[in-house]
């Protein structure tokens, strides 16, 4: 069964606005990752946050992790049309065995 569940399923915003996506997971983890998928393409890694980290930044991306609530959020600031994509959270099944993905959030940024 899938480990992560993203919320919302779909999000539509204007260019320049911030986009926030949430992810909940079920079991203990040592890290949580976020990926982006452009339409018809493979997934691309965005950021990894370790279980002992609460917040991490990368460019316009900000990820938070709350292990007590088993949840994470991805914030994209000052969104651009090029950010239009699906975003997935993923966690390792056990140790560093394959990642388990959520169903994703489909983000549309309107110019």
Query: Which of 60, 103 has the CB closer to another protein?
Result: 103
Residue 51 neighbours by CB under 8 Å, 6+ apart: 28, 29, 30, 31, 32, 65, 67
Query: Which of 26, 41 has the CB closer to another protein?
Result: 41
Is 43 a residue that touches another protein (CB under 8 A)?
A: yes
> Do 54 and 71 touch, CB atoms closer than 8 A?
no
Give CA–CA dist 8/24, Å, rounded. Answer: 11
Residue 1 neighbours by CB under 8 Å, 6+ apart: none
Residues 75-104 that bind another protein (CB under 8 A): 88, 90, 92, 95-104
Considering only 17-25, 43-51, 61-69, 72-80, which stretch makes contact with another protein by CB under 8 A? 43-51
Footprint of another protein on this chain (CB under 8 A)? 1-2, 30-31, 33, 35, 40-45, 48, 50, 88, 90, 92, 95-104
């Amino acid at each position: 069964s899938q480990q992560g569940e993203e919320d919302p399923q779909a999000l539509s915003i204007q260019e320049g606005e911030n986009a926030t996506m949430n992810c909940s997971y079920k079991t203990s983890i040592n890290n949580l990752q976020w990926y982006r998928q452009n339409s018809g393409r493979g997934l691309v890694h965005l950021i990894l946050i370790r279980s002992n980290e609460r917040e991490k930044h990368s460019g316009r991306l900000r990820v938070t992790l709350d292990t007590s609530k088993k949840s994470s959020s991805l914030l994209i600031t000052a969104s651009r049309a090029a950010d239009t994509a699906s975003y997935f959270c993923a966690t390792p099944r056990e140790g560093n065995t394959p990642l388990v993905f959520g169903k994703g959030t489909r983000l549309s940024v309107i110019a």
